[in-house]
Amino acid sequence: MRPWRHHYGRMNKLEQLTFSNSFARRLDEHYFARLDPTPLAGSHLVAFNPQAAELIELDPDEAQRPEFLCWFGGEALHPEAEPVAMLYAGHQFGHYVPQLGDGRAILLGEVRNSRGERWELQLKGAGITPFSRRGDGRAVLRSTVREYLCSEAMHALGIPTTRALCMSGSEEEVYRERIEKGAMLLRMAPSHLRFGSFELFYYRNQFERLKPLADYLIEHHYPELLEQEERYLALFREVTRRTAELISQWQQVGFAHGVMNTDNMSILGLTLDYGPFGFLDDYDPGFICNHSDHGGRYAFDAQPQIGLWNLSCLGQALLPLFDGEPEEAAEKANAVLSEYKPALDRHYAEGMRAKLGLQQVAENDVMLLRDLLKLMQQSAVDYTRFFRALGGFDESPNATNDQLRDHFIDREAFDSWASRYAIRLGQEGVSAEERKAAMNRHNPKYILRNYLAQQAIDRAEAGDYSEIGKLHTILQRPFDEQPEHEAYAEPPPDWGKTLEISCSS
């Protein structure tokens, strides 16, 4: 593949990005395979995200140049690019798969901005790799739209995630459940390493390959651990903490990942690999967003426990790096794992108190929340809409709060809960206006409901990409009132509650 050069022979602004690939240069080909992306036939730009472009200090005007699509659509390479497909393994639905790897994604390299931050640029849907496992190496427009929108929506919600710079589409046919249009996503993250990146070498008994990978990770992404006496144990502890906080944040906003395999778990604690995800509509703790998850392994309420299970797999893979004999190393790993649930519970409690408008800690707060969620489940109350409306709760004596109680079938049960809630709010000493403003900063009005994504997909497949841009704009301000977009905060129509989302989504 040729490097791009401006047709006048001068270096263009894209080439002036500070570009390298520390992963490919620091490690060897036991960790990846070198290959170029395969461009889609007749590709065109579908969407561009200027907020992500700011992270690599790329002028948004560059997206209008033909060179942009050549480079970020796989047709040409930056002169300093060293494209690779990353190798990893993983536990999929609880079963170990000894070799996975990037089957349709190619890491082009990384850009370092003026603040010294590194952003890996990865093309998803870039063609067959040695790890494609009989796949076609492609992504479809449907899945690409979903990841583009959701990764940016999650960022706006304050949840750690990969980012999306742009996506391109084409008329090239790709077969999933049906013939669909091919597409590519340019995904960004400080690193795309996963739990499964370490599992691969542990289960191959190639323990000597764990240390270079861990050293690379610490040097580039956890430099504060370099001076730690037991740096690898400290790394495991930090990944455990980040994972606990991430999953707590998922639970707070009602997000279900859908495929929490260890190969989809970021070593940096980012939300990674958006497939059959879903946000709660009606509150159902057993919500399963992936129609392939017949046993509910990755149901919404199972995510905290699965996070711990996945961390135990990572801890097992890192055991050869921990100081001491095997039994001592295992004890150290288990001690770190014991910190996970308290960290998750603490972070979740803090977040849910904020959603309830509570700043202080009181003994009965856990029961107050638990009883509310039980009532919401019994009445199939819309999770996002109710918590947003709760900011308008009237705690004054004899207040009826009719707009809130109308969410519930058993209104008397809600009245009983509301009386307790009013007493609790009275202990805070905060005005109703201050409380509502604070609650609105924690309770989003706009989320990427599946039906909204599907509407954007339907239009995109017909050649109209305007709804993607509109949704992206709305979801960048999830906590703001946007009167002109009020319809996007409405509950889903009946058909929108029954959408089946698959792993190819």
Residues with catalytic roles: 263
Q: Quote the distance between the C-alpha of residue 453 and its chain's center.
A: 16
478: amino acid identity, one letter: P
Distance CA 366, CA 354 (A): 13
Distances (CA, A) of 306 to 234, 243, 265, 499: 22, 11, 11, 24
| Three-state secondary-structure class, residue 183 | strand
Query: Please, what is the Cα angle at 246 between 245 and 252, to 5 degrees?
Result: 90
| H-run or E-run covering 153 | helix 141-156
CB 172 within 8 Å of CB 181: yes
For 309-337, give the DSSP string. HHHHHHHHHHGGGSSS-HHHHHHHHHHHH
Long-range CB pairs of 298-303 (<8 Å, 24+ gap) are 298/256, 298/257, 298/258, 298/259, 298/260, 299/256, 300/251, 300/254, 300/256, 303/247, 303/250, 303/251, 303/256, 303/257, 303/260
Burial 140-170 (b: 16+ CB within 10 A, else e): bbbbbbbbbbbbbbbbbbebbbbbbbbbbbb
- In the block, tokens 């999306």 appear at 164
Q: By the 8 A CB rule, do 498 and 450 touch?
A: no
- List all residues 6 or more positions away from 112 whose beta carbon is below 8 Å from its beta carbon: 18, 20, 118, 119
CB 450 within 8 A of CB 127: no
* DSSP β-bridge partners for residue 254: none
Helix (H) or strand (E) holding 123: strand 118-124
Burial of 40 (0-12, 13-18, 19+ CB in 10 A): buried
Task: Give one DSSP letter per residue of 399-415, joined into a string.
Answer: ---HHHHTT-S-HHHHH
Element (H, E) at 242: helix 231-253
CA 112 from chain center: how many Å? 22
Beta bridge partners of 112: 118
CA distance 39 to 209: 33
